[in-house]
Structure 1
Amino acid sequence: MDTSNGQTLFEREAGRRFVPASVTKVMTVYTAFKLIDEGALRTEMPFQYTQELEDAWYNEGSNMFLRAGEQPTIGQLLLGITTVSGNDASVALAVAATGSLENWLALMNANAAELGMNDTHFGSPNGYPDGGQTYTSARDLALLGEALTKNYPELYKRYFGHRGLRWGGIAQDNHDPVTGRVDGADGMKTGYTREAGFTFLGSAERDGRRLMMVLAGSPNGGLRDRTARELLEWGFDNFEQSMLVPSQAVVGHALVQDGESPRVALRTPVAVRTTIPRGTALGDVTMEIVYRGPIEAPITDGDRIAQLRVSIDGEPTLEFPLEAAATVERANAWQRIVNAWRRWTA
């Protein structure tokens, strides 16, 4: 998926549910980033790792190898998750941030719902086998990766893309197969269990254009890693963007109810671009303004009140937000009479 415009370049069974294994941890990181951004969690806050947690998670699958009595900070736990896929670090972060796994899972699932991840549910913070409670889809993971990189770009750069981590005298490498191997690649997360097979959510950015890719159910790690690299290179090498409408261009109007004006101009807050195979013609492009209307006043300049639906060769391809290009105050009594007369005579 090209996240600069949300366009899917290739998909196969993108809505099929599967077990994500450690790719689950991307939602744990997203949930932490959101709390940090809201001021509810601080990266420098220490957490007292308990004997109970050590007994449950030491050397259980991929590990940061935390020991009871240690006091990692939230930032160190995040690095333990993003760099060495620590199952122990994921649980520690959950407990440190909300006091219990139950509270943390509620946040993870609320965030999934907010992002429109309709084929996803989380039953653990780390993807450890849980009897099928945790599942997702390629489409949903692409949405999650897009939200992570767009909503929290500085935190993403700070915590993803590290090649290794040393904790407690143990040095480990990051198993990310694309960072350092594909130009512009910077993460995100591999996963493996017998139930899930080999999975990966990966991303790379070149010249302001970011691609997000998902692989699931690979029978071995080598195939997953090669395919991940080849998919990203294919996306950059074989596609280019074409501008349809520049940013801040007025493209039409929406009807207004009970406003001082009967309609309001609509403009593009960002450039409308489509991604096409290199060396090919754009094809027959049609654009349609879509909104639930008339839109009730008051409306403020900049309010996002409509969508621009783009179809190429008759196939709906993309939707872009449209915003009000002016402020429309609520009509006074006389203006409402005039508006009613206009509607009656139209």
Structure 2
Amino acid sequence: MKALALASAAFCLAATPALPASSQAPVPAPVPEDIPVGLLVDLSTGQTLFSREETRRFVPASVTKVMTAYTAFKLIDEGELRPDMRFEYPEELEDAWYNEGSNMFLRAGEQPTIGQLLLGITTVSGNDASVAMAVAATGSLENWVALMNANAAELGMRDTHFGSANGYPDGGQTYTSARDLAKLGRAIVEQYPGLYDRYFGHRSLRWRDIAQVNHDPVTGRVDGADGMKTGYTREAGFTFLGSAERNGRRLVMVLAGAPDGRTRDETARALLEWGFDAFEQELIMPARVGVGRALVQDGAESSVVLRTPKPVIAALPQGADTSRWEMEIEYRGPIQAPVIAGDRIAQLRLTLGGETMLEVPLEAAETVPQANAFQRVANALKKWLA
């Protein structure tokens, strides 16, 4: 079995001027103790800025509808659905879902478009709009839920299972974690940015003569905020998956189990503001910089240069002293030849003051072909003489 190879070094970065060391402790995240689950991730760097019980499973309630929207976006992107397609709402769905929890108030015989159903899902959290989307797209709720779970598996949401299209109480079949919801949040904004901008972030919706407002606590209240979804059931408490973008930085946050809506909403706004204000982005290393070498087995060369595939940017606490970092390279090696330039074969961990700030992939800077017979002999002699 290949061993995990480690290389450690301390290095200074002349290109990144040191910030003055702060004489005060960093401002703590404004998440009260009576909210049991919380997470804030900087998508632009991949860093977790705040975490509390991020893998703890909980009932997401209506936040489930973000996966329903994601599933619809994916089908639209694949050409299986069109926003202008119409669906005739059947009587059996009206009987089951009219005025049942949050609602778009669809009536049997109405023919909303897929786009209108999406707005009903994302803006007023329509339980009826969600099941209408499921039946319109796949013919049944069972087929739709299977598709939701397949998408969750594809996204690596290991602590998630969906039992419904809308998150209505289902005896515990639907559950997730903050870490998994952050993965979903990243996927929906990065994979389908046009559809996300089109269907999320609306403040109100009118269907027939019924006007309703969006209960999203951050859009229009926090600069750059654009969604995503609140949730509440008696067993789940008050939950929120939200996001905001400023100057190229996008944050995704999750709160779960808040004791009341006011606490959830105020904390959501405060946490996003804290994420933008308490951290600043710094360029740690430019792209394609060599940072070390990895051993190669049965190759024309005995090692290969490792480099950064893209600029290494970190979100650092305001006032942090960045004059000196510690770097650790990890890989399972030696790497079996051939190695192709651009292969992601290692990971760089950056720590500051003993705390891991960032982990980024490293790629091979050059191609190392398999050794020929002469080179294998030479490599064997090198090992014997070493």
TM above 0.5: yes
Residue 254 of structure 1 contacts residue 264 of structure 1 at CA under 8 Å; is this kept in 2?
yes
1:191-202 alignment to 2 at 5 Å? 191-202=231-242
CA distance in 2 between counterparts of 1:32 and 1:240 reads: 35
Tell me which of the two structures has the higher relative contact order, counting C-alpha pairs closer than 8 angstroms and 6 or more residues apart: 2
**1:5 maps onto 2:45 in alignment:** yes
Give the superposition deviation at 1:337: 4.8
Q: Which runs of 5+ in 2 are unaligned?
A: 1-40
1:94-243 alignment to 2 at 5 Å? 94-243=134-283
Q: Which residue of 1 aligns with 2:8?
A: none
- CA offsets per residue over residues 10-65 of structure 1, 9 Å max, x none? 22222222211101111122222233333443333333322222221121111122
Report sequence identity in percent: 74
Match of 2:48, SS state, is coil
- Aligned residue type for 2:151: N
For the pair shown, which has the larger CA radius of gyration, 1 or 2? 2
- Pair 1:55–1:333, CA change in 2 (3 A): farther
Match of 1:252, SS state, is strand
- CA offsets per residue over residues 204-252 of structure 1, 9 Å max, x none? 1111111111111222212211111111111111111222211222222
Q: Which residue of 2 aligns with 1:62?
A: 102
1:16-31 alignment to 2 at 5 Å? 16-31=56-71
Residue 284 of structure 1 contacts residue 314 of structure 1 at CA under 8 Å; is this kept in 2?
no
- Pair 1:297–1:31, CA change in 2 (3 A): farther
CA distance in 2 between counterparts of 1:207 and 1:8 reads: 19
CA distance in 2 between counterparts of 1:26 and 1:214 reads: 13
Q: Structure 1 residues 1-10 or 99-108, which shifts more?
A: 99-108
- CA offsets per residue over residues 126-163 of structure 1, 9 Å max, x none? 11011111112222212221222222222211211111
| Residue from 67, 71, 74 that aligns with 1:34 | 74
CA distance in 1 between counterparts of 2:370 and 2:103 reads: 59
CA distance in 1 between counterparts of 2:322 and 2:63 reads: 36
CA distance in 1 between counterparts of 2:75 and 2:376 reads: 45
Give the superposition deviation at 1:296: 3.3
Q: Structure 1 residues 36-45 or 89-98, which shifts more?
A: 36-45
Q: Which residue of 2 aligns with 1:89?
A: 129
Give the superposition deviation at 1:338: 4.5
| Residue from 35, 38, 45 that aligns with 2:85 | 45
Match of 2:67, SS state, is helix
- Pair 1:40–1:231, CA change in 2 (3 A): same
- CA offsets per residue over residues 84-103 of structure 1, 9 Å max, x none? 11111111222222232222
CA distance in 2 between counterparts of 1:205 and 1:111 reads: 25
CA distance in 2 between counterparts of 1:223 and 1:199 reads: 10
Q: Which runs of 5+ in 1 are unaligned?
A: none
CA distance in 1 between counterparts of 2:291 and 2:95 reads: 61
Match of 1:9, SS state, is strand
| Cα root mean square deviation, aligned | 2.3
**1:266 maps onto 2:306 in alignment:** yes
| Residue from 285, 295, 298 that aligns with 1:245 | 285
CA distance in 2 between counterparts of 1:240 and 1:221 reads: 30
Give the superposition deviation at 1:343: 4.8
CA distance in 2 between counterparts of 1:201 and 1:283 reads: 36
CA distance in 2 between counterparts of 1:155 and 1:341 reads: 60
Q: Which residue of 1 aligns with 2:322?
A: 282
Give the superposition deviation at 1:171: 1.9
CA distance in 2 between counterparts of 1:21 and 1:195 reads: 9
Q: TM-score when scaled to structure 2?
A: 0.82
Q: Which residue of 2 aligns with 1:291?
A: 331
Residue 65 of structure 1 contacts residue 168 of structure 1 at CA under 8 Å; is this kept in 2?
no
CA distance in 1 between counterparts of 2:299 and 2:65 reads: 48
Give the superposition deviation at 1:315: 3.0
Q: Which residue of 2 aligns with 1:306?
A: 346
CA distance in 2 between counterparts of 1:75 and 1:339 reads: 63
- Pair 1:192–1:268, CA change in 2 (3 A): same
- Pair 1:248–1:34, CA change in 2 (3 A): farther
Residue 123 of structure 1 contacts residue 134 of structure 1 at CA under 8 Å; is this kept in 2?
yes
Q: Which residue of 1 aligns with 2:120?
A: 80
Residue 283 of structure 1 contacts residue 313 of structure 1 at CA under 8 Å; is this kept in 2?
no
